C-alpha cells in the first residue's frame, strides 16, 4: 500500500487552498477529486465576490475568517496575478423602513471589524448609479470580484510547485485508522485503491458529511446535519447599467443575501442567487423563475427589461442550518474536537467560503 504524509479529499477552493498551504517538498501531499475537473461543484457555482464581511455574527468564524481571508485573498491575487477587481458594492435601501436596517447592518459590520463603509444619501446614490432606485445606501469599497477559475488554478499551481499531486476521478469512500495514521479506500478511474496517510483533510463540500459517516471512529454526534440550499442565477444580456455590485437588504429568513446584481471581470451582469432548500442535488434553473426574479430586481432597478434575463447556472450551499433556523457558523472540526489524530473535517463551508478559503487553510494547518 502506498503511504503519504497528507491526503486532501476534494479539489474545490478549500481542498486546493489547504493543499497550497500544507504541501512541502518534505511532506508528500495528494489531492483526490471525485470529478473529472477541479472545482466541479460549489467553487465554480457562486457569485465570485470577495466579501467585505458585513453580515456575519460578530465573533463568529465566518466574520473572523472572512476579514482575514479577504486580505489574504487580495494579497494572493496580486502576487499570483489572479484577475480580480476591488469594484465596491452598494447595499441599497428602497424604503424608509429599510433605511433603519442599513444602520443596523453598518453597526454589525463595525462590530465585525469592517470600518470602511460609507453611508450614501439618495442624491449621492443617484449620481453614482442613475439606474438604481433607492432612498439610501451603504458603499463597501473593500468588496471585490475574482475570477474563481483562475484562483483555483493558481492554488493548484502553488500546491504542485510545493510537490503536491492531484488525481482526478478518484473518490474516497471510507477512512479507517490503523493506529499509525489513516487508511483511505475508494475507487480511482473505476479501480479500487487503498492508501495510507498520516494526515487527512476532508474538504468534500456537499459530500463532507457522507464521507464523515464512513469515517471509522467518528461519533455520529460529531457529524452535523446537511441542508442543501440551492441558489439560482439569471444572466442579463446587454451592457450592464451598473458600475458596482448592487445588493438589496438580506433576506428576512437569513438564508441568502437577496437577489443581487454582480458583474464578472468581463463586465457580464448576472442576478441571483435566490434560496431554495432541496432534498437532493439539482442544478437546474427553471425558465419560469424569470417573473419572480424580475419582480425582485425591479424593487431596486425599476427599468429592468425582463426579456434580457435568461436562466443561468446555480450552486448549492452546504448549510448546517435548516429552514427557519438561525444561521450556522463554519465548522472546522479538528482532532481536539473529535479526538481522532491527524484528521480535519470541513463542514458547512457556504458563503463566504471562497473569500475565507486561505484563512480556513491556515486554521487547518494549525489544527494539524
Ligand atoms: C450560490 C452560491 C453563491 C456563493 N457566492 C459566494 C461568493 O460570492 N463569495 C464567497 O466567498 N463565497 C461564495 N459562496 C461560497 C463558496 O462558493 C464555497 O464556500 C466554496 O466554493 C466551497 O468550496 P469547497 O472546496 O468547500 O467545496 P466544493 O467546491 O464543492 O469542493 C468539494 C469537492 O470535493 C469533491 N469530493 C467530495 N467528496 C469527495 C470524496 N469522497 N472523494 C473525492 N472527492 C470528493 C467534490 O467533487 C468537490 O469537487 C457561494 C456559494 C453558493 C452555493
**In the structure, which protein residues have their CB atom closer than 6 angstroms to any atom of ligand 1?**
9-15, 32-35, 39-43, 45-49, 51, 171-172, 203-207, 211, 231, 273, 315-317, 349-355
Q: Confirm whether 361 is domain-assigned.
A: yes
Task: Let me know whether 133 and 232 are in one domain.
Answer: yes
Q: Helix/strand/coil (H, E, C) string of 233-289?
A: EEEECCCCCCCCEEECCCCCCCCCCCCEEEECCCCCEEEECCCEEECCCCCCCCHHH
Q: Take atom 34 of ligand 1 and give the residue whose Cα is closest.
A: 10
Give the pLDDT score at 1: 82
Give the pLDDT score at 251: 65
Task: Let me know whether 128 and 230 are in one domain.
Answer: yes
Instruction: Kindly give the number of the ligand 1 atom that is closest to the alpha carbon of 14.
Output: 25
Q: Confirm whether 61 is domain-assigned.
A: no
Task: Let me know whether 230 and 131 are in one domain.
Answer: yes
DSSP class of 15? H
pLDDT tens track of the chain, all 368 residues?
899 999 999 999 999 999 999 999 999 999 999 999 999 999 999 999 999 999 999 999 999 999 999 999 999 999 999 999 999 999 999 998 888 899 999 999 999 999 999 999 999 999 999 999 999 999 999 999 999 999 999 999 999 999 999 999 999 999 999 888 999 999 999 999 999 999 999 999 999 999 999 999 999 999 999 999 999 999 999 999 999 999 998 766 556 778 999 999 999 999 999 999 999 999 999 999 999 999 999 999 999 999 999 999 999 999 999 998 999 999 999 999 999 999 999 999 999 999 999 999 999 999 99
Residue 156 grid cell: 493548484
Q: Take atom 13 of ligand 1 and give the residue whose Cα is closest.
A: 351
Residue 205 grid cell: 463540500
Using most ligand atoms within 8 A of CB, pick from 7, 8, 9, 10 the residue to mutate for ligand 1. Answer: 10
* Total tally of structural domains belonging to the chain: 2
Q: Structure pTM?
A: 0.97
For residues 83 and 172, what is the distance between their CA atoms, to the nearest angstrom? Answer: 33
Q: Which of 6, 45, 10 is nearest to 354 (CA)?
A: 45
Q: Confirm whether 84 is domain-assigned.
A: no
Name the region of 98 (left: φ>0; alpha: ψ -120 to 50; beta: rest).
Answer: alpha
Q: Confirm whether 261 is domain-assigned.
A: yes
Q: Confirm whether 156 is domain-assigned.
A: yes
Instruction: Kindly give the number of the ligand 1 atom that is closest to the alpha carbon of 43.
Output: 21
Task: Let me know whether 342 and 314 are in one domain.
Answer: no
- Whichever domain contains 172, its CATH number is 3.50.50.60
Q: Take atom 27 of ligand 1 and give the residue whose Cα is closest.
A: 205
Give residue-wise pLDDT tens across range 137-147: 999 999 999 99
Q: Which of 322, 323, 325, 327 is nearest to 352 (CA)?
A: 327
Following CA atoms 162, 168, 174, 178 in sequence, which dihedral angle do they give, to the nearest 10 degrees? Answer: -30
Task: Let me know whether 165 and 311 are in one domain.
Answer: no
- Whichever domain contains 231, its CATH number is 3.30.9.10
Task: Let me know whether 135 and 255 are in one domain.
Answer: yes
Task: Let me know whether 304 and 231 are in one domain.
Answer: yes
Cβ atoms 39, 178 nearer than 8 A: no
Q: How far is the CA of 81 from the centre of ligand 1 (A)?
A: 22
Q: Which domain holds residue 313?
A: 89-141+226-319
Q: Confirm whether 286 is domain-assigned.
A: yes
Give residue-wise pLDDT tens across range 37-54: 999 999 999 999 999 999
E-assigned strand segments in 134-253: 136-140, 144-146, 165-167, 170-177, 182-188, 191-202, 227-236, 245-247
Task: Let me know whether 119 and 236 are in one domain.
Answer: yes
Task: Let me know whether 220 and 244 are in one domain.
Answer: no
Q: How far is the CA of 304 from the centre of ligand 1 (A)?
A: 31
Task: Let me know whether 217 and 158 are in one domain.
Answer: yes
Give the pLDDT score at 254: 58
Give residue-wise pLDDT tens across range 152-194: 999 999 999 999 999 999 999 999 998 889 999 999 999 999 9
> Among the three residues 319, 339, 359, which one is the final residue of a domain in this structure?
319
Describe the crossing of helices 13-22 and 148-161 by its angle, rounded to 10 degrees.
30
Q: Confirm whether 82 is domain-assigned.
A: no
Task: Let me know whether 311 and 205 are in one domain.
Answer: no
Using most ligand atoms within 8 A of CB, pick from 351, 352, 360, 364 the residue to mutate for ligand 1. Answer: 351
Q: Confirm whether 360 is domain-assigned.
A: yes
Task: Let me know whether 178 and 291 are in one domain.
Answer: no
Amino acid at each position: 500500500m502506498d503511504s503519504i504524509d497528507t491526503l486532501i479529499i476534494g479539489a474545490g477552493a478549500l481542498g486546493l487552498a489547504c493543499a497550497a498551504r500544507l504541501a512541502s517538498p518534505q511532506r508528500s501531499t495528494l489531492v483526490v477529486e471525485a470529478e473529472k475537473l477541479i472545482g466541479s461543484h460549489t467553487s465554480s457555482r457562486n457569485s465570485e465576490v470577495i466579501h467585505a464581511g458585513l453580515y456575519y455574527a460578530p465573533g463568529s468564524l465566518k466574520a473572523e475568517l472572512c476579514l482575514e481571508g479577504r486580505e489574504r485573498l487580495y494579497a494572493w491575487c496580486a502576487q499570483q496575478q489572479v484577475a480580480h477587481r476591488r469594484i465596491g458594492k452598494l447595499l441599497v435601501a428602497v424604503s424608509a423602513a429599510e433605511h433603519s436596517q442599513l444602520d443596523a447592518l453598518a453597526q454589525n459590520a463595525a462590530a465585525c471589524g469592517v470600518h470602511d463603509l460609507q453611508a450614501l444619501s439618495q442624491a449621492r446614490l443617484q449620481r453614482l448609479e442613475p439606474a438604481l432606485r433607492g432612498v439610501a445606501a451603504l458603499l463597501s469599497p473593500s468588496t471585490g470580484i475574482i475570477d474563481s477559475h483562475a484562483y483555483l488554478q493558481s492554488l493548484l499551481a502553488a500546491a504542485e510547485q510545493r510537490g503536491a499531486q492531484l488525481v482526478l476521478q478518484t473518490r474516497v469512500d471510507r477512512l479507517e485508522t490503523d493506529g499509525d495514521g489513516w487508511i483511505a479506500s475508494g475507487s480511482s478511474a473505476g479501480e479500487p485503491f487503498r492508501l495510507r496517510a498520516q494526515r487527512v483533510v476532508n474538504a468534500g463540500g456537499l459530500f463532507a458529511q457522507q464521507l464523515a459517516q464512513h469515517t471509522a471512529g467518528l461519533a455520529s454526534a460529531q457529524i452535523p446535519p446537511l441542508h442543501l440550499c440551492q441558489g439560482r442565477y439569471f444572466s442579463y444580456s446587454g451592457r450592464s447599467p451598473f458600475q458596482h455590485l448592487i445588493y438589496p437588504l438580506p433576506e428576512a429568513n437569513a438564508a441568502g443575501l437577496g437577489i443581487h446584481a454582480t458583474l464578472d471581470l468581463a463586465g457580464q451582469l448576472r442576478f441571483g442567487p435566490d434560496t431554495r432548500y432541496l432534498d437532493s442535488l439539482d442544478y437546474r434553473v427553471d425558465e419560469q423563475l424569470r417573473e419572480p426574479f424580475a419582480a425582485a430586481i425591479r424593487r431596486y432597478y425599476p427599468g429592468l427589461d425582463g426579456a434580457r434575463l435568461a436562466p443561468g447556472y446555480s450552486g448549492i450551499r452546504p448549510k448546517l442550518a435548516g429552514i427557519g433556523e438561525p444561521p450556522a457558523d463554519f465548522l472546522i472540526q479538528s482532532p481536539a474536537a473529535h479526538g481522532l489524530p491527524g484528521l480535519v473535517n470541513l463542514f458547512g463551508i457556504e458563503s463566504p467560503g471562497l473569500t475565507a478559503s486561505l484563512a480556513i487553510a491556515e486554521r487547518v494547518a494549525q489544527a494539524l
